[in-house]
Amino acid sequence: MDIKEIRSLDFVEVTDEEFKLIRDLIYKNIGINLTEEKRSLVNGRLQKILRKLNFKTFKEYYHFLINDKSGEALSELANVISTNHTFFGREIDHFEYFVDIVLPEIEARAKKTNNFDIRVWSAGCSSGEEPYTLVMLMMEYFGKDYNKWKAGVLATDISLNALEKAKKGIYPDERVQPLPDIFKKKYFNHLPSGEWEIIDVIKREVTFRRFNLMNEKFPFKSPFDVIFCRNVMIYFDEPTRERLVDKFYQFTAPNGYLFIGHSETLNRAKTKYLYLKPAVYKKA
């Protein structure tokens, strides 16, 4: 018996009923809308979890998911279903806009009100490249005045696996490539392995938390000046996106910004945000 035959012996085939159960659970709890075409992909990707947990059917796995109150099972499922792919400097025009328009505006306001508070949220931060970049940019922009500010970034994701990588802050060379050399020198340690590790000064400025964007209630006390939620809503359908964007709106400060991914769209007729330019919106 060759390795392929051995593998096929413990391959668990999902039934129609099980696929529907799991698809509905994913839609309701993670927001991702899986079509029938994704069935074999889901079936394949979940084999490893089934094997690890020793489940013989998807029904058993489904019951495990609905009875898990810790959220860890859902986090593991999200990790397998969604993509965590990201890199430093992704969609760089957003970072340019952040430095050229958003920060000066917030700075001017702070000088008037004497309130040096800036609240930034990276929602769906994956392995941390986006929030770390935002901190580096704020440090560059404010220079030695950075410490005058109550700044930092809240970075959330549903995937514990992604958050662990984010907290470690160690990246392969290709993921760091788009950054200017000066950033690499200033904000990373170059490890003997060739990887790059974010320095502690930057790590300390990011608070990583597990948070599911499908949660009914957002637990924040104050609104955010800037929300980055990029390349997270790609697999959400329109009603899910609209509900989420409404919640973002509630938690955006007046004159605050929402950045979404370039391949994502908001229904401009329905959203309360003001459209500024592709993938950039403002609560005006």
Tokens of 144: 């030695």
Of the candidate spans 37-45, 156-164, 172-180, 190-198, the one that interacts with ligand SAM by CB under 6 A turns out to be 156-164
Our finding on whether 232 is near ligand SAM (CB under 6 A) is yes
DSSP state of 41: H
Pick out residues in 92-131 that bind ligand SAM (CB under 6 A).
124-126, 130
Closest distance of CB 168 from ligand SAM, Å: 15
Of the candidate spans 11-19, 64-72, 79-87, 177-185, the one that interacts with ligand SAM by CB under 6 A turns out to be 79-87
Q: How far apart are CA 251 and CA 111, in angstroms?
A: 23
**What is the CB neighbour count within 10 angstroms for residue 90?**
19
Our finding on whether 82 is near ligand SAM (CB under 6 A) is yes
Which of 151/155 has CB closer to ligand SAM? 155
The single residue among 33, 57, 84, 271 that binds ligand SAM, judged by CB under 6 A, is 84
Which of 106/260 has CB closer to ligand SAM? 260
Q: How far apart are CA 52 and CA 47, in angstroms?
A: 9
Contact string 188-217 vs ligand SAM (x = CB under 6 A): ------------------------xxx---
**What is the CB neighbour count within 10 angstroms for residue 222?**
9
- Please give the C-alpha separations between residue 161 and each of 130, 197, 210, 213, in angstroms, as whole numbers: 16, 18, 10, 17
Of the candidate spans 13-21, 60-68, 112-120, 229-237, the one that interacts with ligand SAM by CB under 6 A turns out to be 229-237
Query: Taking Cα atoms as reference points, which of 101, 180, 100, 71 lies closest to residue 133?
Result: 180
Query: Taking Cα atoms as reference points, which of 250, 195, 193 lies closest to residue 221?
Result: 250
Q: How far apart are CA 52 and CA 71, in angstroms?
A: 18
Residues forming contacts to ligand SAM in the complex (CB under 6 A) are 30-31, 78, 82-86, 90, 124-126, 130, 157-159, 162, 212-214, 230-232, 261
